[in-house]
Structure formats: C-alpha cells, structure tokens
A and B are shown apart, each in its own frame.
Chain A
Amino acid sequence: MSKMRRYEVTAAGDFASVLAVLTDHLGLRLLSLDEGQRSWLDTPAGTLERAETTLEFRRPSGDGTPTLTWAAEGRVLVHDPCVSSTPPVQSSELPDSPAFARLATLVDGGELVAGPTVNSQIAVLACLDDEEKTTARIIFDRSETIDGITLPMLLEVLPLRGYEDEASALEKKLKRSVALSASVTPMRELAQQGASEGRGAGSGEDGAALVPTMSAASAWRAVFQDLSDAITKSFSGVLSGNDPEDLHAFRVAVRRIRTILQDGDDVVDPESRDRFRHEYRWLGDVTTPTRDADVHLIEFPELAATLPPSRREELVPFKGILERHRADCHAAMTVELRSMRRAEFGTAWLSFLADDDAWTGCGDLADEPVLRIVLRRVEKANRQLVKNGRKISKKSPAIALHELRKEGKRLRYLLECFSPLFNEKALATILRPLRDVQDDLGEFQDTEVQANALLELAGELEGADDHSALMAIGGVIEQLGVRGAEARASFSKTFGQFDNRKVQRAFDQLEPRKKKR
C-alpha cells in the first residue's frame, strides 16, 4: 500500500508564495483551495486515532456546506456534505453511506467529541503524468489554532497506488524547490500541542530537522532559515538589553550563519555568499563590545568572591564603572542595529532565503545530497583542527590558540547545525570532547580579553584617586590570569581527549545507519 509522506515546510515565505512554487515552478495542478474552520472528531477513548484514521468536520468560510471527511493516512475513505452545521455527536448522525456505515461500526455506535479546532487554508494539488493521470496528490496545509497560534505548514505527499516511482521522483523535485523537513506529526497533533502549550515559532537549539538525501542547497537554506528565525526571535530582546541571554543567542546564531556561509562554497550562490559573510561579520563585530561588557558584569560577583571578604567592598565603585560602560556599549550597538545598513541587509537576507531562483543551480554541488557534502566539510575542518592542535606547545604564542579556537568553532557549528543528519552516537562521541576543548580555549582567550578590558576600565578609577579600589581590581585581574594559565595548562590533556582513536573513528561513523524499510 502506498505510504503517505509528510513534511514540515521550513521555507521562508507565506502560504501563497509556497503555493506559487508548487503550481508555477513544479507544475502541479491545483485541484482545490479551501479556507475555513475544521475540527477533528473522535470517540472519547480515541478509537479513530488508534485505528490510524482521522475524521474531520470542515466548515468553509463564506456560506459553503460543511463537510465530513474520513481518511486513513491521507487517503480519503469518504468525503460527504454534512446536513447539519454542527459536528455530529453520535455515530447515528453520520451521513448515510456504506463507508460511513463502516465508520459507525468502528466507533461502535458511540459518542463523538470534537478535538482541536483550527482555521486552515488547504490546497490539494495533483501531480499528473503525460496522460494527465494523477500519480500523486499533495496536500498543503496552513493552519492556526482558534487562539491564533500559527502551526507549522505541512505538506503531505500521497502517492497513488501503483505510481510509487512517479511519486518518489516528485518528492525529489519538491525537496529541491521548497525547504522541507520530514515530519511524522500530523496537523491534528500539532493543533493539539498548539492548543495546550501555545507553541511559539522557531525551533529549539538544534534547529531544522534535515534529511540526508535532500539537496545540499535546500539543506543549507533550511539551516539558514532556522538560524534567521533564532535571530529574529532574539532581536527585540537584544535591543531592549534586559536579558544578556538574548544577545548571546543572537551572536551564536550570527556566528553559526557565518560558519555555514564559509563552508557553503559551491552550494550557496557565490556573490550572495561573499556579501552576506561580509555583512554578518560586521553584525557580529558591532555586538562584541556589549557582549564583553555583559560578561564582565555576569562574572563580576564570582570574581569578587575570589578576593578576601574585607576587600570586596572596595570593588563597589568599579562595579558602577562596569555598568556605565555596558550602557554605553549597548547604546552604541543599538544605533548600529537600527541603522539603514542593518535594515537593508536584513531585508536582502530574507528575500535571498525566500527566492527560489537564488537556490537553483547556484553552485556545482548545490544538487548533491547534503550528507555527502557536509561530511566532506566536517572531515576537512577536523583535519585542520587536529593538525594545528598538535602543533600547540607550551611555547606557542597566544594567537596560535586563538586561531585554533576559531577552527574548533567551525567544526562544532558544522556538526551542530547539521546534527539531524548524523548518527547520534557518533555525533555525541565527537561533540563531548570537542566542547571541552572549546571551553578550554575559550577560557584562555576570554580571561585574557577580560583582564585587558578591566585593566583599561580601571584607568577611569585613577581619576577618582581610589587606590584601594585599584588594588582590589589588581587582585581580580590576577585571578583572571590564574584561570587563563590553568586553562592553557590543561589544553594538551583536553585536546588529547579529542585527538584520539576513539573520537577520530567516530568521524567515519557519522553517516547514519541505513534504516530497513
């Protein structure tokens, strides 16, 4: 029996623009486009869900007749107008037809209750062969709960029996044209979750659910989309400056976009790649002083605690300086973030992500399966990290470790951004020691940066002629030096946890095991 395949549409753009891609670009025929309210019905015991079928009551907007649709795995078993304008509450109220008689038997004459209710736009499209025969049906569904929570757009591909090959070919084309990620969650469940949790836009830490077979271009695009969502989500928080976590999340997303752009040669359109790498670098740079100032303040209590209790009081005036400094940095940053430059580049970036033409034939490797390309780039990043990491000795200059930290970041972000593609076990084997290496290198560099910054800010205290405070800062800076030295001393051991056979072998096992179907 032909299996329905379901995808979450991760592409930028609204319902209409994605629909236009399906009809104009992929040549699918629009069979129907319905707008209105729909509810899922089931027995209180969930009999229909357990039988893997759905019963939908649809009330079209305007004055169309309500309908009742019973379907299994996207296959319509029966679709009939409903005489009453409210959903049936008893199986005896079902329309009179052989199929509904089967349904009545299934629910055993019992009661029907309405589950989640959503407002939807649903397009049904057909993929036709050269005889104009339908080979697959595509259901494109955009819904929001009645409380206005937008649910992810879903696209379901239903191969018609006997046309499985044609449907697979269509899916390949679809994945190349629209950013999709495989999903098992039907709209009914999304609606249920949405109704109970008020699920927000954008996804968690690890972002887009990617599939190994999708084209490199659509995978890159999906990752960018997800990272852009993270940026959008944190942006207002960055501007308000109330929670340093927003700026941190913002910067991580920017940094990840830069990494993925950097490793997007032959996948991403070269001109756009250059332009946006440049702009994202700028965006990262304008936020750095504020982040540093945040870190001073976040770490301050902890650092102060390393001083003897009698001296901590002396730091109070310095804390005031840090706070003023942070406010200055934040003010300067907001000017940049509200600049024309940022606005223009932000808009350009979003339209770049939404523009299908920018993602077709955009590079020699754009159509290759993403897994192959990513693995190649991971391997390269790893080779470089291992090579340069081995060169680090006690005598290496600080700059060599800072450079190594960047290489580590590149590898880490590649692995994290494309994490759904990899074998989970192998990925965990690599990421654990890699994150330790990065923590070490981060501690080394950050303590140095922080010590220098504090030293500079301490200059402002001099005018105040406050020697005791200056002495206390000296103690804090010293403490930072100790931490940096410790990080540096532990580097070779930490790096050894990464540069060893077990972890390095895991790189060969990143490709997921073939699942038996």
Chain B
Amino acid sequence: MKVLATYNIKGGVGKTATAVNLAHVAAAHGNRVLVWDLDPQGAATFYFRVKPKVKGGGKAIVRGSLELGDAIKATDFDNLDLVPADFSYRHLDLWLDDAKKPLVRIRRALRQVSEEYDYVFLDCPPSISLTSESVFRAADALLVPTIPTTLSLRTYEQLDRFVEENPDMVRELKILGFFSMVDRHKRLHRRFMNDLRAAHPELLEATIPNSTDIERMGVHREPVGAYGKGSKPARAYEALWSEIQTRL
C-alpha cells in the first residue's frame, strides 16, 4: 500500500482535484484505491456525493478509538472507496504541533486496511504545515500541485529548506511537484514554468491545464474522467498518473 498526500500550504491550487481525479484514474486501471478526505471543508467528499460525516466522529479514527474500516464508504466507482470528511478535523492543524502527531496516527489507522488497498490518497487541508515532520511520516509521497505564478514560490522555497535540513527523511519521502491550472496562452505562466523547471529539474513533466471541464466537477459531482471520458483534462490526469507511477 502506497500513501500519497496532496500538499500545498496554499488553498485553491487543485489539491482536491488532484486527489479525486488521480484516485479515479488509478481505480479505473484496476487498483484498489482509498481516498481519505482530511479537509473539514469536505470538497473531495462532496465530489463523490457522500455525506460529510463519520459516525462516531472522524477524530475517533485518528485517536484510534474507531476502526477506519467502519468509516469507509464505497464510492459509485469500482475499486474506489472514501473516508468522508468530518467536521472534527477542523483543528487538525493545531494537533499537528502537539506531541500526539495525528498524521503518524493516520498512518497507524491506515495499517488496518493495508491489505485492502493498493493506493491511499490523503486529501490534506491547506492549513497543514510543512514544518511538521508528521506529514512525512504519514505519506510515501507528496503530490504538490503548483500554479505557475510567483505566489507559488513560497511552497517551493519551504520545500527546499526542508529538504536541506532533513536529508534523511527526504530519502524516504518522494516530493512530486507538478504544474496545475496551466494556461499555455499566458506568457507569464510559460516563463514561470521554465524558470522553476530550471531550478527544480525533478518537477514532473505532466501538467494539468486550466480547464472549465475540471471546474465543472462541482456541477457533476464526479471525477472529470466519469463525465468527460477521453477529454483533454481526463487525458492529462492519465498522463500525470503514469508519470507518478514511474517515480514511486
């Protein structure tokens, strides 16, 4: 079982879109996939039409008093399950800094289902901060969607610093950055991408275009591949997934 966490301290960069669509692609290829919606806003949960509630409270899973398996809901897609968002996650960011390390606990909770799934996607809220080592303990890889604007640089600067300071940890954690919401017509986007690729050759080749098809996920309440099979964004997520697999 591989655990992939979407990560970016900024909101609205496409973390949830990434988790939902990659999970859908991976499941369609016959992998057994679980999405765990850790964002109390519950966007991933909404896209799968599931009610944002965990019986007994989502915190109880993280605390270990509720079995993760009891909270799992099957989505409408074969081989694709979901742990819904729960309002009790709203202080998840605060717990991060206390000694209890909730993301370590998340990893522990996931161990109960490690035989059942090939891939787990953790859809993280933007408030999770990179400074906490528990993020790294929880995941095998970070998926970092990056909008090609200077504002996104901060995440990368932070990542750089972290990699420098924690060389041991980074050996085990794969950091997979890629460009999201790319508008090829914008000269600014193109220039920024070239610059960042020069500084970070490890950035993935595949990019996700800025697309109204993806925006419409909120209307359809489905992954883009479900209603736009073979569309340009659906193909982009397919390509991103194949590239990610070569890096894991």
Q: How many chain-A residues does the 8 Å CB contact rule pick out?
A: 22
CB neighbors of A among B196-231 (8 A): 221
Question: Are B78 and A78 in contact, CB atoms less than 8 angstroms apart?
Answer: yes
B-chain residues with CB within 8 Å of residue A101 when the two chains form the complex: 30
Cβ–Cβ < 8 Å partners of B221 in chain A? 131-132
- On whether the beta carbons of B51 and A134 are closer than 8 Å, the reply is no
**A163, B49: Cβ atoms closer than 8 Å:** no
Are B78 and A161 in contact (CB-based, < 8 A)? Answer: no
In this assembly, does B29 line the interface, its C-beta being within 8 Å of a C-beta of chain A? yes
Q: Is the interface of A mostly helix, strand, loop or mixed?
A: mixed
B side interface size, CB within 8 A: 17
CB of B78 to closest CB in A, whole Å: 5
Asked if A98 and B74 sit within 8 Å, CB to CB, the answer is: no
Which residues of chain B (20-34) have a CB below 8 Å from chain A?
29-31
| Complex contact B78–A76 (CB within 8 A) | yes
Closest B residue by C-beta to A130: B51
Residues of A83-115 at the interface with B, using a CB-CB cut-off of 8 Å, are: 97-102
> Smallest distance from the beta carbon of B66 to chain A beta carbons, Å?
13
- Chain A residues, Cβ within 8 Å of B72: 161-162
**Which residues, 56 to 79 on B, are CB-close (under 8 Å) to A?**
71-74, 76, 78-79
- Given A77-B79, A132-B221, A163 and B74 touching (CB < 8 A)? yes
Q: Is the CB–CB distance between A133 and B78 below 8 Å?
A: no
- Tell yes or no: A188 within 8 A of B by CB: no
B130 within 8 A of A: no
Say yes or no for A312: interface residue by CB 8 A criterion: no
Q: Is A402 an interface residue, CB under 8 A from the partner?
A: no
| Bound CA span A10–B30, Å | 36
The CA of A76 and the CA of B80, in the complex, are separated in Å by 11
Cβ A98 vs Cβ B118 within 8 A: yes
Rounded to whole Å, the gap between the CB of A94 and the closest CB of chain B is 11
Q: Which residues of A contact B48 (CB under 8 A)?
A: 133
Chain A nearest CB from B4 CB (Å) reads 16
Interface pair A134/B76, CB less than 8 Å apart: yes
Q: Which of A2, A76, A99, A162 is packed against the most chain B CB atoms within 10 Å?
A: A162
Query: Which residue of the partner chain A has the closest CB to B30?
Result: A99
Is A122 part of the binding interface, using a Cβ–Cβ cutoff of 8 Å? no
Considering the complex, which residues of chain B in the window 75-93 have a beta carbon less than 8 Å from any beta carbon of chain A? Answer: 76, 78-79, 81
Main secondary structure of the interface of B (DSSP, over half): loop
Given contacts A133-B49, A161-B72, A163-B73, contact A98 B78 (CB under 8 A): no
Q: How many angstroms from the CA of A98 to the CA of B28 in the assembled complex?
A: 10
Chain A stretch 62-81: residues in CB contact (< 8 A) with chain B: 75-80
Interface check A455, CB cutoff 8 A: no
* CB of A252 closer than 8 Å to a CB of B: no
A160 at the interface (CB under 8 A from B): yes
Q: Which chain A residue shows the least CB distance to B51?
A: A131
User: From A31, which residue of chain B is reached at the shortest CB distance?
Assistant: B76
Evaluate contact between B49 and A132: CB separation under 8 angstroms: yes
Q: What's the nearest-Cβ distance from chain B to residue A55, in Å? A: 14
The residues of B that contact A102 with a CB separation of less than 8 Å are 30
Chain B stretch 34-57: residues in CB contact (< 8 A) with chain A: 48-51
- Flag if B74 contacts A161 (CB, 8 Å): yes
A99 cross-chain contacts in B, Cβ below 8 A? 29-31, 79
Residues in A with CB closer than 8 Å to B73 are: 160-163
Docked pose: A75 CA to B31 CA in angstroms? 14
Query: Could you tell me the distance between the alpha carbons of A77 and B81 in the complex, rounded to whole angstroms?
Result: 13
Would A98 and B31 be within 8 Å (CB), given that A160-B73, A161-B81 are in contact?
yes
A97 and B245 alpha carbons, distance in the complex (Å): 13
The contact of A133 among B30, B76, B81, B118, by CB within 8 Å, is: B76
Chain A residue nearest to B46 (CB atoms) is A131
Q: State whether A98 and B51 are in contact (beta carbons under 8 Å apart), knowing that A76-B78, A161-B81 are contacts in the complex.
A: no
Partner of A79, one of B29, B78, B118: B78
B15 to chain A, nearest CB (A): 22
Which of B29, B50, B51 contacts A97, CB < 8 Å? B29
CA separation between A76 and B75, bound complex, in Å?
13
Instruction: Name the B residues within 8 Å of A75 (CB-CB).
Output: 78
* Whole-angstrom CA separation of A99 from B76 in the bound complex: 18
Q: Select from chain B the residue with minimum beta-carbon distance to A137.
A: B76
Contact mask for chain A residues 1-30; partner B; CB cutoff 8 A; 1 contact, 0 none: 010000000000000000000000000000
The chain B residue sitting closest to A131, CB to CB, is B49
* Cβ B31 vs Cβ A133 within 8 A: no
**What is the CA–CA distance of A80 and B30 in the complex, to the nearest angstrom?**
9
- Choose among B30, B49, B76, B81 the residue that contacts A78 (Cβ–Cβ < 8 A): B30
Q: Which residues of B contact A161 (CB under 8 A)?
A: 72-74, 81
Q: Do A97 and B49 have beta carbons less than 8 Å apart?
A: no
On A, residues with C-beta under 8 Å from B are 2, 75-80, 97-102, 126, 131-134, 160-163
The 10 nearest A-B residue pairs measured at CB: A99-B30, A162-B73, A133-B49, A160-B74, A97-B30, A161-B74, A98-B30, A78-B30, A134-B76, A131-B49
B interface, CB within 8 angstroms of A: 29-31, 48-51, 71-74, 76, 78-79, 81, 118, 221
6 intermolecular pairs with C-beta atoms under 8 Å apart = A78-B30, A80-B30, A131-B49, A133-B48, A134-B76, A162-B71
Contacts beyond the supplied A131-B51, A134-B76, A161-B73: 19 A-B pairs with Cβ under 8 Å = A2-B74, A77-B30, A79-B78, A80-B30, A97-B29, A98-B29, A98-B30, A99-B29, A99-B79, A102-B30, A131-B50, A132-B49, A132-B221, A133-B48, A133-B50, A160-B73, A161-B74, A162-B72, A162-B73
